[in-house]
Amino acid sequence: MTDGLYIHIPFCHQICFYCDFNKVFFKNQPVDEYIDCLGKELMMMRGEGLFDHGGPLTIFIGGGTPTALEDRQLEKLFGHIRSAVPMDRLIEFSTEANPDELTPDKLAILWENGVRRLSIGVQSFDAGLLERLGRTHSPNDAERVVRQARETGFENISLDLMYGLPEQTMNQWEDTLDRALSLCLPHYSAYSLIVEPKTIFYNLMNKNMLPLPGEDLEAAMFERLMERMAQSGLQQYEISNFAKVGHESVHNKLYWQNRSYAGAGAGAHGYAGGIRYSNHGPLKKYMNAVGEGRRPVFEEHRVTASEEMEEEMFLGLRMTEGVRFDKFRERFGKELDDVYGPQIRELAGQELLTSDGESVRLTRKGIFLGNEVFQEFLG
C-alpha cells in the first residue's frame, strides 16, 4: 500500500529552456498508446497491492505538461485512473497545468473527473522573462486562467514562480510578486533557477551566454519573497512553499515526510516497501516493457536503515516544522540525539538549527544555507 500516486505525462508543446524533466515534443508522438500503457501499468500496480486498503491519499499528475493532452486524451487518461485506482481514501487530487493550454473545456474535464487542486506554472509575470525562459504564455494568460478556474469551481489553486532568472532585476521580481499576490490564492511555490545539465540554459552557461544574477541578489529576492508572503498571510511551511492554513500540498508533504508513493509513467519515480525505483525514461523502452506485461522499472534500490534516517533528516528539515523527536523514535526505534546529536549541536552552534525539545528545525539563517545543513546528515 502507498500513500501517494504520481502519474507522469511526458509531452510538451514547447520545451522550456531550464527544464530537465523527462519530456518530449508532443507532435508525432504515440500519445494515445502511451495513455493506454499508463492504464496497464496502473492495473499492474493494483495487482501487486500498491492500492490496497482504499487506495492512495493523494494523486498528482505531472510532467511534462498534463494539459498538453487533447480533451479526448484527458478523458481517456481519467478513465484508466478510475478503472485501476481505488479512491476511498483520496483527500487530494492535483494536476500541473500551463496557462495557455488550460482551456475552459479542459478545466471542466478536470473538475468532472475529481481534480480539485491546480498547480499552474506561471514562473513570471514579466513578458520578456517568460520569452527568455522559453515559455509560451503571457502574463494575461495566467490571470485569465485563474479567473476561469474559479468560475469552474476550483478554489485550491497554486502558482509556481521562479527567481534568480537571467538578467532579472529586483523590480521585475517585485512586480511578479505584486501580480501573483493580487490574485489572492491559497498557495504559492517559488524556486530559484537551478541550471541543470542537458538543458538549453546549461549549454548557454557553458558558452558564457547566460547572465545570471549574483548570489547576493538571489538571496535578496528570496528574502523579499518570504517577507511578501508573510505580509499576505501565507505561512512558509517548506523552504519554497507558502500557503494559507489548511491549503498545504498534501502530496508534496508526503515526499518531505519520507512516506510511500507509487510513480507511474515514463521516467517516474516511486518509493514503496522500502525500495526506491525509477521507470524507464525513453517512451519506447517504457511502452515495450508494459506491452510485455511487466512493470517498466529500470532501476531499484533498497533503502538501508541508515539511508532512511538520512532521508528523514534532509527531507524533513525542508519543512519549517522540522523533524520531531517522537516521530523519529517511533519510526526508527532510536533517539534522534543518539544518532545525530553531534551534527545537531554543531549546526546549532552555527545558528543554522534550533530545537525546542520537541523538534529540530532550520533557523532563518539555516533556511538560506539549507543545502549546507542537509549535507551534514549524509553519510
pTM of model > 0.85: yes
Average pLDDT over residues 116-126: 98
Which H helix or E strand runs over 128? helix 127-133
**What is the rounded CA–CA span in Å between residue 241 and residue 274?**
27
**What is the rounded CA–CA span in Å between residue 160 and residue 123?**
6
Instruction: Give the pLDDT band of residue 22 (cuts 50, 70, 90).
Output: confident
**What is the rounded CA–CA span in Å between residue 165 and residue 237?**
24
Residue 78 in grid coordinates? 481519467
Give the E-state strand segments of 24-155 in sequence order: 24-25, 58-63, 92-97, 117-123
Average pLDDT over residues 337-346: 96
**Residue 155 scores a pLDDT above 90:** yes
- All structural domains of the chain: 4-256 (3.80.30.20), 325-375 (no CATH)
**Residue 17 scores a pLDDT above 90:** no
Which of 85, 7, 78 minimizes the C-alpha distance to 44?
Answer: 85
pLDDT, tens digit, for every residue of 51-63?
A: 999 999 999 999 9
**Whether the Cβ atoms of residue 289 and residue 334 lie closer than 8 Å to each other:** no
Average pLDDT over residues 329-358: 96
pLDDT at position 23, please?
85
Q: DSSP class of residue 319?
A: B
Instruction: Give the pLDDT band of residue 13 (cuts 50, 70, 90).
Output: confident
Q: Report H helices in the chain.
A: 31-47, 71-84, 104-112, 127-133, 139-152, 170-181, 200-206, 215-231, 250-256, 283-291, 305-316, 325-332, 336-349, 364-368, 370-375
Q: Scanning the structure block, which residue is given the C-alpha cell 548557454?
A: 204
pLDDT, tens digit, for every residue of 193-241?
A: 999 998 999 999 999 999 999 999 999 999 999 999 999 999 999 999 9
Average pLDDT over residues 24-37: 94
Residue 107 in grid coordinates? 478545466
Average pLDDT over residues 10-38: 91
Average pLDDT over residues 239-266: 98
pLDDT at position 203, please?
94
Helix-helix angle 305-316:325-332, to 10 degrees? 160
Bridge pairing between strands 323-324 and 297-302:
unpaired
pLDDT at position 179, please?
98
**What is the rounded CA–CA span in Å between residue 121 and residue 14?**
13
Question: Of the ranges 198-212, 286-300, 318-332, which one carries the lowest mean pLDDT score?
Answer: 198-212
**Other Cβ atoms within 10 Å of 118 Cβ, number:** 26
Amino acid at 373: V
**Residue 20 scores a pLDDT above 90:** no
Write down the mean pLDDT value for the chain: 96
**What is the rounded CA–CA span in Å between residue 129 and residue 114?**
34
Q: DSSP class of residue 292?
A: T
Residue 180 in grid coordinates? 501573483
**What is the rounded CA–CA span in Å between residue 53 and residue 1?**
7
Which of 127, 128, 63, 58 minimizes the C-alpha distance to 93?
Answer: 58
**Other Cβ atoms within 10 Å of 17 Cβ, number:** 19
Sign of torsion, CA 237 243 248 252?
Answer: negative
pLDDT at position 252, please?
98
pLDDT at position 299, please?
98
**Whether the Cβ atoms of residue 262 and residue 71 lie closer than 8 Å to each other:** no
pLDDT at position 126, please?
97
**What is the rounded CA–CA span in Å between residue 288 and residue 279?**
12
**What is the rounded CA–CA span in Å between residue 352 and residue 343?**
11
Q: Scanning the structure block, which residue is given the C-alpha cell 469551481?
A: 153
